[in-house]
Amino acid sequence: MGLSSKVIYRRCLPSGPWQRLLPGVILLHNTTPSRREQLLAALLYGGPRSMITGATACRQYGLRVPAAFSPDDVHLLIHQQHKALSSEYVTVERTWRLPAPHVRQDIPLAPLVRAVTDATRRIRTEEPIGELLVEAIQRGRCSPTAIAAELDRGTKRGTALPRRLLAEWLDLRSVAEARAKELSKRLSVPPTHWNPVIRDAMGNYIGRPDGWWEDVALAWEIDSVDFHFSRDDYARTLQRNTRYAAAGITVVPTLPSRLRDDPGGVVQELEAAYRAAAARPRPPVLLAQEAA
């Protein structure tokens, strides 16, 4: 624009009207830059095709990002051929796998699945990684399978923790059932059936509990995950428990983590529930079928 570097330098002095945000990027006022100005400056610094990724993009998508992810830094994704380096508040990541951006309010963002995986690769603490993954699954509608696939496609550096968490969640159902069956050997009266269909006297479907005691109509439900991935999952669980209660069935819900961390407590709860179920008249419910 015809301004010499000396003029620009003077105008960016503490008493001047401008300020330098990043190398080669000048903000034409001297008050605190807005978050949008910081993002636009980062994109100018990154050059053509650059986009916001990581926790920064997750926030732009409206996710609640744990405090362990810095709220001030900007995670920038650029093509491998560009030579920009991390500077000031901008963390630059170069990649050959530059995705097509999603533009929100004129800000190009990496697709949410990519942003989530880029964020989780840069932190080494399990709890905030798990919180961000759950937030992406619940509110961002990202499936665990899609996130795991994105981790497989990119660099493996920094992916051990998120990959392990996702693998646990994806395999949790089968793992929980195996632990439940092993734990049942410690019961004075183990379940008579696994995964049967239970109906009322009119033949209406009630549920399909993981464990079932036919003699006392006691159901044992191992929730598929320690949290519900969506509101629909939570609503279905409430509806299931309502059907059990309406039919007079005693139900013991158990989180999968307790099978691993508190097996003794689970055994005590099941023993007490069996005694309580045996002490009341058996409700008129029917064992419809057993799982294959």
Q: What is the full DSSP assignment across 70-87? A: -SS-EEEEEETT-----B
CATH number at residue 273: 3.40.960.10
Determine the Cα–Cα distance for residues 21 and 6; give it in Å rounded to an integer: 17
Residue among 190, 115, 120, 121 nearest 156 (CA) = 121
Q: Are residues 186 and 117 in the same domain?
A: no
What pLDDT is attached to residue 292? 33
For the whole prediction, is pTM greater than 0.95?
no
Q: Which of 92, 127, 158 is the last residue of a domain?
A: 158
Q: Are residues 194 and 126 in the same domain?
A: no
Per the structure, the count of domains in the chain is 2
154 located within any domain: yes
User: Domain span at residue 265?
Assistant: 175-289
What are the tens digits of pLDDT across the range 167-196?
Answer: 877 765 667 788 899 999 999 999 999 989
| Average pLDDT of the segment spanning 91-99 | 95
13 located within any domain: no
Q: Of 86-90, 141-145, 258-262, give the range with the top mean pLDDT.
A: 86-90
Q: What confidence tier does 112 reach under pLDDT thresholds 50, 70, 90?
A: very high
Determine the Cα–Cα distance for residues 177 and 174; give it in Å rounded to an integer: 5
What are the tens digits of pLDDT across the range 36-66?
Answer: 999 999 999 999 999 999 999 999 999 999 9
92 located within any domain: yes
What pLDDT is attached to residue 92? 97
Q: How large is the C-alpha radius of gyration of the chain?
A: 27
74, 56 in Cβ contact below 8 A?
A: yes
The alpha carbon torsion through 217, 218, 222, 223 (nearest 10 deg) reads 80
Average pLDDT over the chain reads: 90
Q: What confidence tier does 89 reach under pLDDT thresholds 50, 70, 90?
A: very high
Q: Are residues 183 and 135 in the same domain?
A: no
| Average pLDDT of the segment spanning 285-290 | 76
266 located within any domain: yes
165 located within any domain: no
**Torsional sign, CA 148, 153, 154, 157:** positive
Q: Are residues 143 and 180 in the same domain?
A: no
pLDDT at 234 over 70: no
pLDDT at 155 over 80: yes
126, 61 in Cβ contact below 8 A?
A: no
